Structure 1
Amino acid sequence: MDLSASTALVTGANRGFGRALAAELLSRGVTVYAGARNPDQVDLPGAKPIALDVTDPASVTAAAKATGDVSVLINNAGSSTGADLLAADLGDIRLEMDTHYFGTLSVTRAFAPQIAANGGGAVLNVLSGLSWVSYPEFGAYCAAKSAQWSLTNALRQQLADQGIRVAGLHVGYMDTDMVRTVEAPKSDPAEIARIAVDGIAAGAYEILADDAARQAQAALSGGVSVLYPQLP
């Protein structure tokens, strides 16, 4: 896919990985709408700020109406409440699903007709190695990412005949504010953004950006005993 002639929308583009994605696209000559709940927080030169709260259907509809030339959609907006499934407030668990699953679905439904009308293009859903393995201490996030992966698999089949290629990016920890308290190896968001955009350009369906994602995928074939060896 020739990205230099494309217009992209990146959700959650005001900071962290979303900002890195927008910057990488801009460096390749792509026109970029930088979606954020507060567009005044977008400080990336060259980007076009646009108000977009993925959990608000009215906001999503307004963003789609305010554009018209989008051919690449990157569903990046995320949340991380640290909610476990048994003890956390249900509102925190719902927020994870509203953001990662329903938010991704809502934005894709709103922009897919626009992408198709522009001759086709691509959708990239920012997933995680945690789409494939779950940890109790943030089980709500893992469940939402697993649902988002399932959504990605369904949408790539439904949108293929409209010329829209739907990809999933799987990655472990990145050095962003969202995981600032996590003490573990973290990738440079700018490097992961480069890998992600390379994957879009190459037409990849699944982009495994680091060793954590590759190890999680490989463990799936081993079943429960491999994924969760601590179980009796």
Structure 2
Amino acid sequence: MKIFKDKVILITGANRGIGRALVKALLDHDVKKVYATCRDLNTLPSFDDNRVIALSLDITDDGQIKTIAAVAGDTEILINNAGILNTGNILDGDLLGMDNDMKVNYFGTIKMMRAFASILKKNRPAKIINIVSIAAYSPLPSIAGYAASKAALYSATQSVRIELAKDGIDVHAVNPGAIDTDMNKGSDWDMPDPDSVAIKILKSVDEGNLDIIPDEMGQGMYNAWREDPSKLSKIFSDLYYAENIG
């Protein structure tokens, strides 16, 4: 994966799940430096590599984003991975949880792209990689706020891809299905581990793919949606009522 060799990369939400797995995978591919960010540095694992620069960052905090942009001005690849998930459906779910999903997953990521756009233009060739979700295509009602925030993020990713194309900056959208991370803890689904998913993401970026679905579950859901959106809605409907009946 020569595309990452000697590159400077910033990853949000690097303390767990896909973010942590991406840091580990990138270190295996001769990157120059990785800015590994998360809200609480006490939760960040020790990667035991002096190429990793740990930075505290809440992507909803304008002041912190400004500080990080000043510190990490040599960033060439921005990976927006940080996200949260609050359970709840549209009619009865906690509106505060839905609001937080939107603040972090959508607006927080937009703020990061705005803060780093000029940096990436200066450091071309550069990339943005947004970790979205297969839920962007059709939401599971039990996580309706999360799905809505990811649908919004997917739309924003497509828009900024067009905006930055004139500057030669590629913008990648990654839409995983359910991955065996803390976010899906307690699920009895057969899920791939984040380490294998991280490698597939990097390989797909290296191959030049802009829209990436790195797992079989996600691919199956995407294929159903591509054939007929109602088919994916049926899959989510069956999952939802099975959960509620069970």
TM-score normalised by the chain length of structure 1: 0.94
Relative distance call for 1:196 and 1:224 in structure 2 (3 A) is: closer
Partner of 2:10: 9
In the alignment, is the contact (CA less than 8 A) between 2:77 and 2:126 conserved in 1? yes
How does 1:131-170 map onto structure 2 within 5 Å? 131-170=136-175
Partner of 1:82: 87
In the alignment, is the contact (CA less than 8 A) between 1:19 and 1:44 conserved in 2? no
Aligned-residue offset at 1:200: 2.1
Specify which of 97, 107, 111 is matched with residue 92 of structure 1.
Answer: 97
Relative distance call for 1:122 and 1:86 in structure 2 (3 A) is: same
1:162-181 per-position Cα deviation (integer Å, ceiling 9, x unaligned): 12100011111111111111
- Cα separation, 2, equivalents of 1:3 and 1:115: 15
SS in 2 for 1:157: helix
In the alignment, is the contact (CA less than 8 A) between 2:59 and 2:108 conserved in 1? yes
SS in 2 for 1:167: strand
- Cα separation, 1, equivalents of 2:73 and 2:111: 17
SS in 1 for 2:73: coil
Specify which of 37, 44, 64 is matched with residue 59 of structure 1.
Answer: 64
Partner of 2:113: 108
- Cα separation, 2, equivalents of 1:8 and 1:199: 17
- Cα separation, 2, equivalents of 1:33 and 1:203: 23
TM-score normalised by the chain length of structure 2: 0.89
1:11-32 per-position Cα deviation (integer Å, ceiling 9, x unaligned): 0001221110111111111110
- Cα separation, 2, equivalents of 1:228 and 1:33: 38
Partner of 1:27: 28
Identity level (%):
32
In the alignment, is the contact (CA less than 8 A) between 1:120 and 1:162 conserved in 2? no
Structure 1 unaligned regions, length at least 5: none
Could you tell me which amino acid in structure 2 is paired with residue 41 of structure 1?
Answer: T
Relative distance call for 1:224 and 1:170 in structure 2 (3 A) is: closer
SS in 1 for 2:174: strand
SS in 2 for 1:23: helix
Aligned-residue offset at 1:215: 2.0
Aligned-residue offset at 1:57: 1.4
SS in 2 for 1:33: strand
Partner of 1:41: 43
In the alignment, is the contact (CA less than 8 A) between 1:133 and 1:216 conserved in 2? no
In the alignment, is the contact (CA less than 8 A) between 2:133 and 2:174 conserved in 1? yes
Could you tell me which amino acid in structure 2 is paired with residue 44 of structure 1?
Answer: F
1:33-90 per-position Cα deviation (integer Å, ceiling 9, x unaligned): 0011122432222211011111111111111011111000111001011122221221
- Cα separation, 1, equivalents of 2:228 and 2:30: 44
Q: In the comparison of the two structures, how many residue pairs are matched?
A: 231
